[in-house]
Amino acid sequence: MTALAAPTSAPDPGQGLGKTGIPRHVAIIMDGNGRWAHARALPRIAGHKQGVEAVRRVARAARDIGIDVLTLYAFSSENWRRPAEEVGDLMGLLRLFLKNEVDDLIRENVRLRVIGDYRALSDDLVRMIDTAIVRTADNSGPRLVIALNYGAQAEIAAAARHLAREVEQGSRAADTIDEAAIEGALATRDLPPLDLLIRTSGEQRLSNFLLWQAAYAELAFVDTLWPDFDEATLRGAVADFGRRQRRFGGL
């Protein structure tokens, strides 16, 4: 009887863990801006403004901690369902962020990336994003990945379309579509595997974020509302991650 071959795509235990136990790739579902504002009898936009401050703070903290890739869920493909005024406010804050932060990112040697269908945003935002990506492309330091108009199911569907097209054109055999091929067609293809996925505000769902990539990520649900999230909260989640035993199906 032939033994079952070990699949080559099985994750290597210990991947992502440097000697220090620091996760290489951390993603955050930044949730709770509205509730933060509501608790202060402020309009929701006030929570989103404080949320941008948290982005600034946490991106810096991640670099200080030694996290190589920080992926932030800023706007989901489902967030268009919000009232037009709130969507407009969020886009306005994104515009401000890009205007104010890119010089700092360059100075700090950060590479900016965007995942999600950001080309559906308004033309000026698309231009600003493209410029920011180009201006930080030669940096060699940590990466900041912003998920904009991102939905994991749409990402996986796009990967399937891409591979199907290759088959259709004759450059790929259908049999070669395995986990690695799909991974290679995702928006995150050139990023290290996701080690730690944090969601703030006490909600315990993924809301269509990095569904494929989260297969073996460690999950952390913290009660802190995103505008209150700071370096200490991040360090706490990273320390907790360092105490976990990742098994990847093995022993």
The answer to whether 79 is a known catalytic residue is yes
- Segment near ligand IPE (CB under 6 A); pick from 27-35, 56-64, 108-116, 118-126: 27-35
| CA-based end-to-end distance of the chain | 25
Pattern 151-190, ligand IPE, x by CB under 6 A: ----------------------------------------
Q: Is residue 23 involved in binding ligand IPE (CB under 6 A)?
A: no
* Phi, psi (degrees; rounded to nearest 5) at 61: -60, -40
Nearer Cβ to Mg ion (76/233): 76
- Contact criterion met (CB below 8 Å) for 55 and 72: yes
> Which is it for the CA torsion 31, 201, 204, 11, positive or negative?
positive
* Phi, psi (degrees; rounded to nearest 5) at 197: -115, 115
Shortest separation between residue 31's beta carbon and Mg ion, angstroms: 4
CA dist 34 and 118 (Å) reads 23
Q: Is residue 117 involved in binding ligand IPE (CB under 6 A)?
A: no
- Segment near Mg ion (CB under 5 A); pick from 11-19, 23-31, 146-154, 163-171: 23-31
Shortest separation between residue 194's beta carbon and ligand IPE, angstroms: 16
CB atoms within 10 A of CB 139: 16
Q: Which residue in 89, 10, 104, 21 sits closest to 49, CA to CA?
A: 89
Cα–chain-centroid distance for residue 156? 15
Q: Is residue 31 involved in binding Mg ion (CB under 5 A)?
A: yes
Q: Is 122 annotated as a binding residue?
A: no
Total number of residues binding ligand IPE (CB under 6 A)?
18
Please give the helix or strand (H or E) that residue 46 lies within, else none: helix 44-65
Known binding-site residues for Mg(2+) equal 31, 218
- Catalytically active residues, by annotation: 31, 79
- Positions touching ligand IPE (CB under 6 A) are 29-35, 73-76, 79, 90, 201, 203, 205, 207, 226
